[in-house]
Structure 1
Amino acid sequence: GTRHQTRRQQETNSIALLETKVLLSSTKMMMNVLRQRVLSSRLDLIRCHAGSITSLLSTSQSLHDRLRASVHSLAGNELQLRANLRLVSKRRMIWNRRHSVHSESKPLTSKSVEEHEDKEEDNAFPTIEDAKALPLAYRKMDNVSLVTLAGMGQHSARREVLIRHIMAVDEVPYGVALETFQKIREANFDKMYLLGLPFQIGAASMIIGGLACLPLVFHLGTVEWFNQTYVTADVPPKKDLETWLEVGAWSWNWMEPLLGTGTFVLLCVQYFRINMDHLGIKPYTHRIKQARAHRLVKLFPKYDREVLMNYSETATIYSIEK
């Protein structure tokens, strides 16, 4: 009887152990399912946030472009408004003079008033005095107009701002300030020929490649030489090479991969350049111009840093200005 009870107790324990194992395995499975659901929900949440962030970035970029365009339009409207105000003030002065002379000489009548209104209608158009007062060069503009144009990136306006800044700092007339500016200009373009070699190499390579691809595709002698030297493809019968279009159809078998790959590489480089601008990463041109501007500030420390840098950054790589 004792053995029977012991065996029954062992069977009960084994059954309880199996139930415990089954319960543990089911618990683990439930934990794994819950973990997968939590991970999937987190991934969905991250994707949702990423989409919203992308939309916000695109919206902010469009708003930035609109703001820049509105700033440029406001600057142009400000210049037009200032010109209109000057024109109105001149017309008012002329009218006051005419009115004072007219009132002293004759009493106002209905006929004189009508004549005066007719003259006012004629004055709606620019006068000869207004045409003569039009500034035809940057050196004849006022300071406000120059600063506005310089802020918009006009290099000639920044050049004139620098000359007037030299006049104010050195207390010298325009001619002497122009001589000092020539020294600054020569220092600005000093040793820029070496830094511009990549642009020369790139331009020469593009011109040579563009001119060389024409005979390599359509000229029979050049195509046969290139085929014998680099391709070694089968030559078609002479009846299939009678025209330049037939020659191009034959050479296109090996020229298409070259030209197509080159075009795709240029497209990728252009797309990379656009993304650099979006990320705020400045290309080689901006870097060398910025380094040149810092060098110019060190060479002429007595003048304003921002005025010198603005002039240097908008100047060309080579000295083409006079």
Structure 2
Amino acid sequence: MRMLINVPDTVVADALRGMAATHPELTVDVEGRVIVRRDAPVAGKVALVSGGGSGHEPLHGGFVGTGMLDAACPGEVFTSPVPDQMVKAAAAVDSGQGVLFVVKNYTGDVLNFDMAMELAEDEGVRVAKVLVDDDVAVTDSTHTAGRRGTGATLFVEKIAGAAAEEGAPLERVEAIARQVNASSRSFGVALSACSTPAKGGPTFALPDGELELGVGIHGEPGRERRPMMTSREIADFSVDAVLEDLRPTNPVLLLVGGAGATPLLELYGFAAEVHRVLAERGVPVLRSLVGNYVTSLDMAGCAVTLCQADEELLRLWDAPVRTPALRWGL
């Protein structure tokens, strides 16, 4: 095992200590596993809280800050956070205007966030929830009933976060978050397996010279395995899979995401192919983002996420944001 760690049991705590040392604009509770923007609660503002298993960084802790999340709850690697974390986060950021939970569609996340909603409401916090389920690769998988939540989580957190920053009420922020999710689709490809610190090796077997089309962000099986394809061929397959389901009538926002171990040189080359396919299919691209945002530890691979955007969603996407992993306009 070649990993930059001390021992597997402390990986998440060690990372949180590093975040605390690096980002003084955040309040990081290492023991309680909650990351909060330091100025929370912000008076008159709806708060956004998200979370999930660690190993997908910068999702979610890297998206805490002005114009995006108010708090994030990191679980153990590839494991849902627990309701106590979510309730603590909600209490820390609630200004009295309510809290929106952004939840990726994985069974553990859904169950624990639903329990946290009940507990938070018992404590007088008004809570709403949006479920992110954008992955078109499969309908049900190892960890889900229905589609998996992947790259669209970034679009939901950014756009709904901008609406909340502007002072929109909870009902409006929730509606925007649901609109973004309904307007988004993703498809991922693995070129190698990922390795968890606890296992110390690959979490699934992917033979040399093969790739997995439609892989999940925990290494869940996708649609099929094929011999290695070119960047052009992968772009054709991935974009067509997304467009077949999304059928956009508006221009799109584009996220070309890395799985964790694929260098930017390759991701930008892949992005060029994605733009080519979209142009050939007559789909205008309003904005593009390329890089590692929703990752799978050390997996090599990529994902395409498209979000249909009207003028309002585009305006909110362009709104200022300042987080460790995403920032512009401030």
User: TM class, shorter-chain normalised?
Assistant: under 0.3
Q: Which is strand-richer, 1 or 2?
A: 2
Larger relative contact order (C-alpha < 8 A, sep ≥ 6)?
2
Q: Which is helix-richer, 1 or 2?
A: 1
TM-score normalised to structure 1 length: 0.23
